Amino acid sequence: MADKTDVWQGTLALMVLKTLETMGPQHGYGIARRIEQTSGNLLSLNYGTLYPALLKLEQEGAIVSEWGMSDNNRKAKFYKLTRAGRKLLEREARSWQQATAIVERFLSPVEEA
């Protein structure tokens, strides 16, 4: 099995927003597990990175949080996407798609003119 890699800089917010759009309100542990699961367990998510990212997204108004009970009956903070978060997700997804398309041009075989 391949070693896990860290989340690429600039992609964590996008993955968090997309996870909340797809899954609905989630607590931090659930968000982390879903990101790792979606990556095919190839990404390793550091909680010291996740929680500051969640705080930043909350301060920017992209997500809101409220306390609730987790599946194992523990108090947990649940995060939910806001309207501003949906718009941010759309912008970030477009930006990331454009960036990957540019990099793909460098990785693709050069066609003869």
Can you give the CATH number for the domain in which 49 is found? 1.10.10.10
In the predicted structure, residue 2 carries a pLDDT above the cut 80: no
Domain that holds residue 67: 5-107
Residue 112 located in a structural domain: no
Residue 74 located in a structural domain: yes
Closest by CA to 63, choosing from 14, 96, 11, 20, is 20
Residue 71 located in a structural domain: yes
**What's the whole-number average pLDDT of the chain?**
90
At 9 the pLDDT is 67
Residue 81 located in a structural domain: yes
Instruction: Say if residues 20 and 31 touch (Cβ distance below 8 Å).
Output: yes
Instruction: Say if residues 16 and 34 touch (Cβ distance below 8 Å).
Output: no
Residue 56 located in a structural domain: yes
Residue 14 located in a structural domain: yes
Q: Count of domains in the chain?
A: 1
Q: What is the mean pLDDT of residues 22-33?
A: 95
Higher pLDDT, 68 or 46: 68
Residue 96 located in a structural domain: yes
Residue 113 located in a structural domain: no
* Token digits of residue 53: 């990212």
Alpha-carbon distance 104 to 72, whole Å? 43
In the predicted structure, residue 78 carries a pLDDT above the cut 70: yes
Instruction: Say if residues 4 and 42 touch (Cβ distance below 8 Å).
Output: yes
The confidence band for 1, taking pLDDT boundaries of 50, 70 and 90, is very low
